[in-house]
Every structure is written in structure tokens, then in C-alpha cells.
């Protein structure tokens, strides 16, 4: 398979009369792409999609409505009050507990196996630790050094070492779950006492080295990012678990 990695010369390029059948696009920016006369049969797309029009129809509102129908818990993951925030934490924990129950019947090695070059379940859980550290510890709580060494940032975060991330870390599942439990307990403790005024207060920017970039934000917006990211990644984990379950059956 031919690989094209980090070649920005493709910006504003034209691809005409080419076959890209069965090609894989990973961490590719297709913003503003224009596709005319394309064949897009049996394609599978995961990503941040907004404003996409297919044959003149903006499709994302349709997709969002269908996702809400298929996954009604999503409606509980857009909280704006202390009570609904606490409920949202319950939702994500219930989802992950169900996923971990499925994983528990597989051989231990399965937790660390990648499927189709995606993160393993262990790496995905480590990423959720990073997301809580980033959007609660750094962006909402304005802590100077919130990042746990075993967290896994997204690929576009290239300064992990500066944040205190140990890129050579290879924790066990038990170690990962213990750190994640600490992060969720910390978040629950905050939400147990927080007021509506505090959630809506604009705070920041946090000028310490970190992620996301410095900006003024409310805690509501920061925590909503966490809940959205958690939901998406538990879906990715379940998708890959289904493949592993077939392999180990």
C-alpha cells in the first residue's frame, strides 16, 4: 500500500479521473473539499463533520437526529446545570462499564490490540484520562500541571513531553482504570459542590503550557467537550471490540 504522510502540497490540489477505491484517510483535513461526480459506495466515515452537503442536502442534522434515536443517552450528555452534569457523569460511567464487561471475557492481550490501526482499548481509555485533564484540569480548573504521565493526547498534540506525558509508558489495564477512576472521582467531587453561577462563569485563559490552547471559557463548555468525547470514544471501543470478539470466538 502506498502511503502519503504529512504532505501539505495537496492543499488546493485537484484530483481528476483517479481511483481511490479502498483508500484510507486518517487524521486528514478535508475542510472545504469539493467532490463532483464521485462514487462513494459502501464508504465508512468517522470524524468531526459540519456543513457537509450531499447532493444539495446538509446531512449532519439528519445524522445527529438518527444518532439521538439510536442512542437516546446522547440527549443526557449535553448538560448545562449541576444536576444534569452529575447525571452525564453517570451516563459515561455506565457506558464504559458495559464496554469493560465485554472486554473482560476476552484474553488480556486483546485490551492492548489495535484494530485497523486504531487505538487499542487501553490507549482509548488513556486518551479519556488526557481529555479530562485537558478540559477539566487545565481549561476549567486552571491547574498548572494537570496532566497524568500515562494520558494519551490526540495525534495533533505534538508536545506531549512538555505536558508531562510519558510517551514510553506501557501501563496495565488495572493501572489505567485506577487513574481514570481518580479523574472521575475528582470530577464528581467538583460537581457535588458546584453552583450554576460557577458553571457559567467565564474563566481563564490558563497560560500554563497545556491543551487546549489558552482561551476564556465557561466550565459548562469545557465539561460538555469531555462528555461528547467520552461518548464518541466508547463507540469506537465498542466497534473494535465487536471485531476482536469475532477473532477470539
User: Domain coordinates of the chain in residue numbers?
Assistant: 79-248
Section 28-48 average pLDDT: 87
Per-residue pLDDT at 142:
97
Mean pLDDT across the chain = 93
Q: Choose among 39, 38, 1: nearest CA to 23.
A: 1
Percent of the chain with pLDDT over 90: 76
CB 203 within 8 A of CB 140: yes
Instruction: Using pLDDT thresholds of 50, 70 and 90, give the confidence band for residue 35.
Output: confident
- 3-state SS, residue 217: strand
- Per-residue pLDDT tens over the stretch 48-94: 888 999 999 999 999 999 999 999 999 999 999 999 999 999 999 99
What residues have CB less than 8 Å from 72, skipping those under 6 apart? Answer: none
pLDDT of residue 193 exceeding 90, the answer is yes
As assigned by CATH, the class of the 79-248 domain is: mainly alpha
* Rounded CA separation 232/134 (Å): 17
- Per-residue pLDDT tens over the stretch 130-153: 999 999 999 999 999 999 999 999
The per-residue b/e assignment along 1-37, b for 16 or more CB within 10 angstroms, e otherwise, is eeeeeeeeeeeeeeeeeeeeeeeeeeeeeeeeeeeee
| Residues shown for the chain | 249
pTM for this prediction: 0.88
Region at 105 (left for phi over 0; alpha for psi -120 to 50; beta for the rest): alpha
- Identify the residue with better confidence: 117 or 99: 99
Instruction: Using pLDDT thresholds of 50, 70 and 90, give the confidence band for residue 7.
Output: low
Per-residue pLDDT at 1:
66
Section 179-187 average pLDDT: 98
Amino acid at each position: 500500500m502506498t502511503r502519503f504522510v504529512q504532505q501539505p502540497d495537496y492543499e488546493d490540489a485537484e484530483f481528476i479521473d483517479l481511483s481511490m477505491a479502498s483508500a484510507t484517510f486518517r487524521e486528514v483535513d478535508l475542510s472545504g473539499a469539493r467532490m463532483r461526480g464521485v462514487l462513494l459506495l459502501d464508504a465508512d466515515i468517522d470524524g468531526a463533520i459540519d456543513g457537509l452537503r450531499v447532493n444539495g442536502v446538509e446531512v449532519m442534522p439528519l445524522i445527529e437526529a438518527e444518532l439521538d434515536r439510536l442512542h437516546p443517552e446522547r440527549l443526557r450528555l449535553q448538560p448545562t446545570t449541576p444536576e444534569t452534569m452529575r447525571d452525564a457523569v453517570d451516563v459515561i460511567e455506565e457506558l464504559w462499564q458495559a464496554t469493560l464487561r465485554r472486554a473482560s471475557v476476552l484474553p488480556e492481550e486483546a485490551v492492548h490490540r489495535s484494530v485497523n490501526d486504531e487505538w487499542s482499548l487501553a490507549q482509548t481509555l488513556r486518551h479519556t484520562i488526557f481529555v479530562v485533564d485537558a478540559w477539566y484540569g487545565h481549561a476549567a480548573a486552571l491547574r498548572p500541571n494537570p496532566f497524568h504521565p500515562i494520558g494519551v493526547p490526540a495525534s495533533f498534540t505534538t508536545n506531549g513531553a512538555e505536558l508531562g506525558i510519558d510517551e514510553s509508558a506501557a501501563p496495565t489495564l488495572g493501572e489505567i482504570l485506577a487513574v481514570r477512576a481518580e479523574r472521575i472521582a475528582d470530577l464528581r467531587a467538583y460537581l457535588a459542590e458546584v453552583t450554576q453561577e460557577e458553571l457559567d462563569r467565564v474563566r481563564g485563559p490558563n497560560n500554563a503550557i497545556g491543551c487546549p490552547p489558552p482561551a476564556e471559557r465557561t466550565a459548562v463548555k469545557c465539561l460538555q467537550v469531555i462528555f461528547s468525547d467520552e461518548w464518541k470514544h466508547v463507540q469506537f471501543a465498542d466497534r473494535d471490540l465487536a471485531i476482536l470478539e469475532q477473532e477470539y470466538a
